[in-house]
Copies of this chain bind each other. A is one copy, B any other.
Amino acid sequence: MSKTRVIIWGLGAMGGGMAKFLLDREGIEIVGAIKHRPVEGDPDLGKVLGLGKKLGVKVSNDVNKVLKTKADIVLHSTSSFTKDVFPELAKIMNSKKNVITIAEEMAYPQANEPALSKKIDALAKKNKVSVLGTGINPGFVLDTLIIALTGICANVKKIKAMRINDLSPFGPTVMRTQGVGTTVKEFYQGLKNGSIVGHIGFLESINMIADAIGWDLTEVKQTREPIITKVYRRTPHVEVQPGMVAGCKHIGYGMRGKEVLITLEHPQQICPGLEKIETGDYIKIEGTPNVNLSIKPEIPGGIGTMAIAINMIPAVIKASPGLKTMSDLPVPSVILKDINKLKRYK
Which residues of A pack against B, CB within 8 Å?
A: 21, 24, 110, 136, 140, 144-145, 147-148, 150-156, 211-216, 287-289, 291-297, 299-300, 303-304, 306-308, 310-312, 325-338, 341-344
**Sample of 6 A–B contacts (CB below 8 Å):** A136-B152, A144-B331, A153-B334, A155-B334, A155-B336, A292-B296
**Docked-complex contact B156 and A336, CB < 8 angstroms:** yes
Task: Pick the 5 closest A-B CB pairs, nearest first.
Answer: A151-B332, A214-B337, A150-B334, A214-B336, A154-B307
CB distance from A162 to the nearest CB of B (A): 15
Contacts A144-B331, A287-B334, A333-B148 hold; do A303 and B211 have CB atoms under 8 A apart?
Answer: no
**Docked-complex contact B331 and A326, CB < 8 angstroms:** yes
**Docked-complex contact A327 and B331, CB < 8 angstroms:** yes
**Docked-complex contact A303 and B327, CB < 8 angstroms:** no
Query: Inside 8 A of A335's CB, which chain B residues have their CB?
Result: 213-214
Query: Inside 8 A of A336's CB, which chain B residues have their CB?
Result: 155-156, 213-215
Tell which of B332, B334, B344 touches A211, judged by Cβ atoms closer than 8 Å.
B344
Q: Closest residue to A135 on the B side, CB-wise?
A: B152
Besides A151-B312, A211-B344, A289-B299, 8 other A-B contacts (C-beta < 8 A): A144-B331, A148-B148, A148-B331, A152-B303, A154-B334, A211-B342, A212-B333, A214-B342
CB distance from A24 to the nearest CB of B (A): 7
CA distance A325 to B307 in the complex (A): 23
Tell which of B140, B154, B213, B291 touches A306, judged by Cβ atoms closer than 8 Å.
B154
Tell which of B148, B216, B333 touches A150, judged by Cβ atoms closer than 8 Å.
B333
Query: Inside 8 A of A156's CB, which chain B residues have their CB?
Result: 334, 336
**Docked-complex contact B21 and A332, CB < 8 angstroms:** no
Of A21, A297, A299, A336, most B-chain CB atoms within 10 Å: A336
CB distance from A76 to the nearest CB of B (A): 18
CB distance from A195 to the nearest CB of B (A): 30
Tell which of B154, B294, B306, B310 touches A293, judged by Cβ atoms closer than 8 Å.
B294
Q: Closest residue to A216 on the B side, CB-wise?
A: B337
Query: Inside 8 A of A338's CB, which chain B residues have their CB?
Result: 214
Tell which of B213, B307, B330, B337 touches A333, judged by Cβ atoms closer than 8 Å.
B213
**Docked-complex contact A330 and B329, CB < 8 angstroms:** yes
CB distance from A216 to the nearest CB of B (A): 8
CA distance A215 to B326 in the complex (A): 24
**Docked-complex contact B330 and A344, CB < 8 angstroms:** no
Query: Inside 8 A of A153's CB, which chain B residues have their CB?
Result: 307, 311, 334
CB distance from A4 to the nearest CB of B (A): 13
CA distance A308 to B289 in the complex (A): 12
CB distance from A165 to the nearest CB of B (A): 13
Contacts A330-B327, A330-B328 hold; do A307 and B211 have CB atoms under 8 A apart?
Answer: no
Query: Inside 8 A of A110's CB, which chain B residues have their CB?
Result: 343
Contacts A213-B335, A296-B292 hold; do A140 and B152 have CB atoms under 8 A apart?
Answer: yes
CA distance A153 to B168 in the complex (A): 21
